[in-house]
Amino acid sequence: MRQLENTFKILSSDCDRYGFMKMNRILVIMQELAGEHSDLLGWSFKNTLRHGAVWVVTRNEFEVIQYPAIGQAVVGKTFPGRPRRGIYPRYYRIEDQAGRPLILGSSFWALADVNSRQMTDLPEVAAGFPDTGDLTPYFHNPGAPDSLEEGSAREEVWHPVYTDLDRNGHVNNTRAADWALCYLSETSNIEDHPVRSVIASYHKELYEGQPVDLAFTAKDRAFSMLCSVGGEAALRMSGSLFQERIPMP
């Protein structure tokens, strides 16, 4: 199966108080589509673990074309690009049932050694992925986040808890998006100008109880966030809001 296609319904819990899908939930959908497709290709969590490795995402990007409504049935699609030097690109498209695009995205995935926690590569994994060279990616490859130098700033120390963790034993990379949305609710008019695009890069694992320094900045219709541990960048995120007013879906 070169491409995975799933139909699912947007839940009220997927959305914020204004009815717009949360950044976190969009990233979760991308993650779940990738995970399910990898399972079907023979490289599930359990199978990669037998080879001493786990899947980790190193970069994500998405753009909202149009927000789906609560209760709306949508179709999620994904397929992998050609692996290069241990990096596995993947592309995503969420569309309505008429085939109109709602959200487009991409990510870079890699395999991490379970003992050293460093990136590794398993030739048999790359060999097991389908040739998708004739498929047109839904979106460009994920870029690098920007960093705002000035604007409305927030700083806080976050101590991740058990419910922030995933089965890799570290904080799931989608969790920081909820923090960014909380800050945006304080600094920006997200009732009328919700999030339009997000880029995130992941550099260091975060663990339960570890003090994580959060630094968030918003200016005009842009924002950025840095999560650091011991002075080292663990996660970077940036994004933009819609310039025009967007009615509730």
What is the domain extent for residue 66?
A: 4-241
- pLDDT tens across 224-246, in order? 999 999 999 999 999 999 999 99
**pLDDT at residue 122 is higher than 90:** no
Give yes or no for a contact between 198 and 61, defined as CB atoms under 8 angstroms apart. yes
Distance (Å) of CA 178 to CA 41, 112, 148, 202, 219: 31, 25, 19, 15, 19
57: tokens are: 């995402």
Contacting residues for 109 by C-beta, under 8 A, at least 6 apart:
34, 55, 56, 57, 58, 87, 88, 89, 90
Whether residue 249 is contained in a domain is answered as no
Distance (Å) of CA 184 to CA 23, 174, 219, 231: 11, 16, 10, 24
Whether residue 247 is contained in a domain is answered as no
Whether residue 52 is contained in a domain is answered as yes
Q: Where are the alpha helices (DSSP H) in 72-175?
A: 123-128
Burial class (CB in 10 A: 0-12, 13-18, 19+), 146: middle
Q: What is the pLDDT, as a whole number, of residue 49? A: 86
Domain total in the chain? 1
Average pLDDT over residues 166-186: 93
Cβ of 50: how many Cβ atoms within 10 Å? 8
Contacting residues for 174 by C-beta, under 8 A, at least 6 apart:
24, 27, 28, 31
SS3 37: helix
Q: What is the pLDDT, as a whole number, of residue 126? A: 86
Whether residue 248 is contained in a domain is answered as no
Distance (Å) of CA 36 to CA 18, 79, 179: 30, 11, 26
Dihedrals phi, psi of 220, to nearest 5 degrees: 55, -115
Average pLDDT over residues 214-228: 97
- pLDDT tens across 77-114, in order? 999 999 988 999 999 999 999 999 999 999 999 998 88
- pLDDT tens across 109-120, in order? 999 888 888 888
